[in-house]
Amino acid sequence: MSTATESTAATAGLRGVVAAQSAIGDVNGEQGVLIYQGYDIHDLAENSTFEEVVYLLWNGRLPNAGELADLKRQLQANYEIPAQVLEMMRSFPKDADPMDVLRTAVSSLDFYDKQGHGTDRENAVNTATKLTAQMGTIVTAWERIRSGKEPVAPDKSLSIAENFLYMLRGEKAEADEAHIFDVALILHADHELNASTFTTRVVAGTLADMYGAVTAGIAALAGPLHGGANTNVMKMLKEIGSEDKIDQWLDNALAEKRKIMGIGHAVYKTEDPRATWLRKFSKQLGEKRGDMTWFNMSQKIEKAMLEKKGMYPNVDFYSASAYYLMDIPLDQYTPIFAVSRISGWTGHILEQYSNNKLIRPRAEYIGKRDQKHTPIEER
Nearest 10 degrees: CA dihedral of 28, 33, 35, 39? -140
Give pLDDT, residue 18.
Answer: 82
For Cα atoms 95, 101, 102, give the angle at the middle one, nearest 5 degrees.
145
Task: Out of 191, 265, 272, 348, pick the active-site residue.
Answer: 265
Strand order in the sheet with 25-28: 25-28, 33-36, 39-40
Least confident segment among 6-10, 98-102, 118-122, 210-214: 6-10
Question: In terms of pTM, does the model score above 0.85?
Answer: yes
Task: Out of 113, 191, 316, 348, pick the active-site residue.
Answer: 316
> pLDDT grade, residue 10 (50/70/90)?
very low
SS3 string, 332-373, reads HHHHHHHHHHHHHHHHHHHHHHHCCCCCCCCCCCCCCCCCCC
**What average pLDDT does range 97-102 have in this prediction?**
97
CA gap 181, 141 in Å, rounded: 18
Give pLDDT, residue 14.
Answer: 75
Which pLDDT tens digit goes with each residue over 30-45?
A: 899 999 999 999 999 9
Give pLDDT, residue 356.
Answer: 96
Q: Are 186 and 42 in contact (CB under 8 A)?
A: no
Say whether 265 is catalytic: yes
Which pLDDT tens digit goes with each residue over 162-200?
A: 999 999 999 999 999 999 999 999 999 999 999 999 999
Q: Is the pLDDT of residue 90 over 90?
A: yes
> pLDDT grade, residue 267 (50/70/90)?
confident
Which pLDDT tens digit goes with each residue over 14-72?
A: 777 888 899 999 999 889 999 999 999 999 999 999 999 999 999 999 999 999 999 99
Domains defined along the chain, listed by start: 24-224+331-354 (1.10.580.10), 229-325 (1.10.230.10)
Give pLDDT, residue 11.
Answer: 62
CA gap 244, 258 in Å, rounded: 20
Say whether 42 is catalytic: no
Least confident segment among 174-188, 237-251, 252-266: 252-266
> pLDDT grade, residue 4 (50/70/90)?
very low
Which pLDDT tens digit goes with each residue over 324-370?
A: 999 999 999 999 999 999 999 999 999 999 999 999 999 899 999 99
